[in-house]
Amino acid sequence: MQLINQIKQWPDCRTLTPTDVFKYPTLRELAGFLLVDKQASSDMASFKPRLPQHMVNLRGARPTFIVPGLPGLSDGYYELAERLALDGEVYGLQMRGFFDGEQPATTVEEMAAHNLATLRQINSNGKINLYAHSYGGTVVYEMLKQLLDSEYEIGEVVFIDSGVLKLKQDAIDKASVRLFCQFLLSSAGKDAKALTPSINQVLDHFDTTEWQTRLSVLLEGAGALEAEQFRKIWRVVEAAVSVKYPYGPKLPYRLTLVVADASKGWLNKQCWDPYFESVRVIQSAGDHMSIVRQPDCDAWLRKLQAGNGIASDVAAIPVADPYVLRADELRKHYPKAVQAVDGVSLSLNEGVCFGLLGPNGAGKTTTLEMLEGIIKPSSGQIYHRGKPINAEYRKHIGIQFQHTALPELLTVKESLQLFQKLYPSPLSLDELVEACALTEYLNRDNRKLSGGQRQRLLLAIALINNPDIVFLDEPTTGLDPQARHNFWSLIRNIKARGKTIILTTHYMDEAEQLCDEIAIMDKGRILVQDTPQNLLANHFDGVLIKLPKSSGLAELSEWSYPMAIGDDVIEFVTPDVEAALRQLAQHHISLDGLSIVAPNLENLFLKLTGYSLRA
């Protein structure tokens, strides 16, 4: 035991247990197990353990293994390893394919089996913790499947900004390449943001077959890594993101999912619920890359440790659903193979205003009607405060339809009193009148209300049952600007009362003014979902140049910037205004009517869907 305790003090040395003493009966064998690769120095602290080829010792006794994200490199996780409050070693597992003569694994099952074979060289049995970042979550899920009924005891399972892989492309995509390049640059201590325009230029203006060569030269020139090393890593990444993986049954483990603030637009916090016994969600500051680095990783690690986190032996306890409304993989199809909604997922916090936008035929009305409980989805599930919606759900929602007939020959006051009688515990008349600014119209006949006054009355009717969630279907369509702004004030006041609002609108300025979060739909799917500020920051790098359609720009066969062509206007975004103007002059494009503005939600909508909002 004295020998074991002494060895524990040596840095860069495996932990020795009583079992190991009997497993390696000679001093030579024991030394070979502990410190195989001896340095020239006789100082034991200078000895280095021999590690498997695909493993990096991130900290040096109960082992934790980190499975990396898209790049497949463990080198970017040293800071996280330093902060992990674990009484043991921390290892980063590398994907196969980095070393000469190796072919990358082409299936998730192969990747998981490779990781487990490497892991067993360090720890043949006992308790292990598994961490995963980004794409690594899918690999760890498969590793856990393969470890069922094995000799291992699974301690902590933590997925860091990691969603369920549902890729359908057959080759690497732009989003994956951007993350890949940002990771490599930041790992090399380079300013990833400064090179983002150059990376986007390659992705937007060259064929996918040229990406690898051009980006390798770009990153080598930036001093990030040699071009040949870049190409080796590229092979692994391409194999990883092109794979299709069928998930299996729910695993009997508790998962902690850490979500970066900047990722909530694409990462559904409930995505792992069908695959683990329970899922605990921790929100963290930062973005997809900074979340594994200091100081961003410090905050979520403290939350993790505060909740029976690392290596907890406590039985898994189901986590309460934190969302007032959640939808998982909603689909709605009609006869003749019409797929109106195709896999919509969203989750809403209490007290937010959520905007659902899309061109006509995008599927937003069908999605809204499913969320309202008016029609049933063909598949998928909707939850209100963690429970599947049922007849009781209707008592907790209010709906202001786009077109609603009001009873004739009644006043505003009489209409409100009539609808109050339909509910067992309605809001008082005074509360409704104050919330919707109806005092001076109480005795007015419904038929004599203006458009704005009528919408206020309909909003009051939607609030009569004091709902948790208020659905507003294009509430300001047809109103004059003053009436629209007055109605916006009412919506803000209602949100301030803690109500959750789901809004559909054809006005981009309305969405920007009112919505905390926005989802843009097209062809039955949600294309993007995030705060308005994050959406604009993520999709536009520069300023917006607008020209009349008659300028002739649309007829050019070659142009350096992707164009969005509307009914009357052509738009493109450029990080370099002077260079864009020079190109316009070289092509003899008229600059009459040219304007330069910061991109807004309408520009984003046009970029993503190809339609003006009212198309």
CATH number at residue 68: 3.40.50.1820
64 vs 45, more confident: 64
Q: Is the pTM of this model over 0.85?
A: no
Supply the Cα-derived Rg of the chain in whole angstroms: 29
Tell me, yes or no, whether 318 lies in a domain.
no
User: 55-59, 125-129, 511-515: lowest mean pLDDT where?
Assistant: 55-59
For residue 155, pLDDT over 80 is answered with yes
Tell me, yes or no, whether 558 lies in a domain.
yes
Retrieve residue 189's tokens: 């201590």
Same domain as 413, residue 271: no
Tell me, yes or no, whether 376 lies in a domain.
yes
Q: Examine residue 246 and say whether the peptide bond preceding it is cis (omega within 30 degrees of 0).
A: no
For residue 371, pLDDT over 80 is answered with yes
Query: CA 12, CA 35: separation in Å to the nearest integer?
Result: 9
pLDDT on residue 91: 87
Q: Which of 241, 260, 282 is the last residue of a domain?
A: 241
Confidence band of 38 (pLDDT split at 50, 70, 90): very low
Tell me, yes or no, whether 572 lies in a domain.
yes
pLDDT on residue 256: 94
Return the exposure string of 227-241: e unless at least 16 CB atoms fall within 10 Å of the residue's CB, then b.
beebebbbbbbbbbb
For residues 324-338, average pLDDT: 86
pLDDT in tens, 544-561: 888 998 898 988 878 888
Find the domain containing 446 and state its range: 325-527
> 156: Cβ–Cβ under 8 A, 6 or more apart, which residues?
64, 129, 130, 131, 256, 309, 310, 311, 312
Retrieve residue 250's tokens: 């729910």
Nearest alpha carbon to residue 418 among 452, 446, 450, 456: 446
For residue 457, pLDDT over 90 is answered with yes
Q: How many domains does the chain have?
A: 5
* DSSP count for the chain of H helices, then E strands: 20, 21
Same domain as 334, residue 191: no
Query: CA 398, CA 402: separation in Å to the nearest integer?
Result: 13
- The CATH number given to whatever domain includes residue 387 is 3.40.50.300
Retrieve residue 578's tokens: 């002077």
Tell me, yes or no, whether 488 lies in a domain.
yes
Residue 536's SS3 state is helix
Retrieve residue 586's tokens: 């070289």
Confidence band of 251 (pLDDT split at 50, 70, 90): very high
Tokens 């038929």 belong to: 447
- Report how far apart, in Å, the C-alpha atoms of 278 and of each of 255, 257, 329, 331, 520 are: 6, 10, 19, 25, 30
For residue 9, pLDDT over 80 is answered with no
Query: CA 179, CA 165: separation in Å to the nearest integer?
Result: 15
Same domain as 228, residue 152: no
Same domain as 203, residue 95: no
> Residue 496: what are its φ and ψ, rounded to 5°?
-65, -20
- Report how far apart, in Å, the C-alpha atoms of 329 and of each of 164, 274, 344, 377 are: 12, 11, 5, 10
Same domain as 500, residue 387: yes
pLDDT on residue 402: 78
Same domain as 117, residue 65: yes
- Report how far apart, in Å, the C-alpha atoms of 526 and of each of 152, 255, 362, 475 are: 40, 26, 9, 22
Confidence band of 615 (pLDDT split at 50, 70, 90): very low
- Report how far apart, in Å, the C-alpha atoms of 446 and of each of 408, 457, 460 are: 6, 9, 14
Q: Are 178 and 210 in contact (CB under 8 A)?
A: no
Q: Which amino acid is at 84?
A: L
Neighbours of 43 (CB within 10 A): 8
For residue 248, pLDDT over 90 is answered with no
pLDDT in tens, 162-187: 988 765 445 566 777 877 787 777 76
For residues 124-136, average pLDDT: 85
418 vs 38, more confident: 418
For residues 354-360, average pLDDT: 89
Q: Are 383 and 326 in contact (CB under 8 A)?
A: yes
What's the mean pLDDT when you consider all of the chain? 81
pLDDT on residue 161: 92
Confidence band of 158 (pLDDT split at 50, 70, 90): very high
For residue 519, pLDDT over 60 is answered with yes
Query: CA 205, CA 196: separation in Å to the nearest integer?
Result: 14
> 274: Cβ–Cβ under 8 A, 6 or more apart, which residues?
247, 250, 328
Same domain as 284, residue 139: yes
Q: Are 545 and 534 in contact (CB under 8 A)?
A: no
Tell me, yes or no, whether 615 lies in a domain.
no
Tell me, yes or no, whether 604 lies in a domain.
no
User: 269-278, 495-504, 537-546: lowest mean pLDDT where?
Assistant: 537-546
Q: Which of 189, 207, 241 is the last residue of a domain?
A: 241
Same domain as 119, residue 210: no
Return the exposure string of 366-395: e unless at least 16 CB atoms fall within 10 Å of the residue's CB, then b.
bbbbbbbbeeebeebebbbbeeebeeebee
Same domain as 510, residue 380: yes
Neighbours of 27 (CB within 10 A): 8
Same domain as 366, residue 226: no
Same domain as 490, residue 401: yes
Nearest alpha carbon to residue 460 among 443, 484, 436, 476: 436
Query: CA 51, CA 280: separation in Å to the nearest integer?
Result: 33
pLDDT on residue 417: 93
pLDDT on residue 304: 84
pLDDT in tens, 185-238: 776 777 777 788 888 888 888 887 888 888 888 888 888 778 877 877 777 677
Question: Which strands make up the sheet holding 64-67, listed edge to edge?
Answer: 55-59, 90-93, 64-67, 126-133, 152-160, 251-260, 276-284
pLDDT in tens, 465-517: 999 999 999 898 888 888 889 999 999 989 888 899 999 988 888 988 899 99
Q: Which of 190, 220, 241 is the last residue of a domain?
A: 241
Tell me, yes or no, whether 495 lies in a domain.
yes
pLDDT on residue 462: 94
For residue 60, pLDDT over 50 is answered with no
34 vs 67, more confident: 67
How does DSSP classify residue 148? T
Pairing of strands 338-348, 325-334: antiparallel
Same domain as 334, residue 448: yes
- Percent residues over pLDDT 70 in the chain: 81
User: 257-271, 305-319, 404-418, 455-469: lowest mean pLDDT where?
Assistant: 305-319
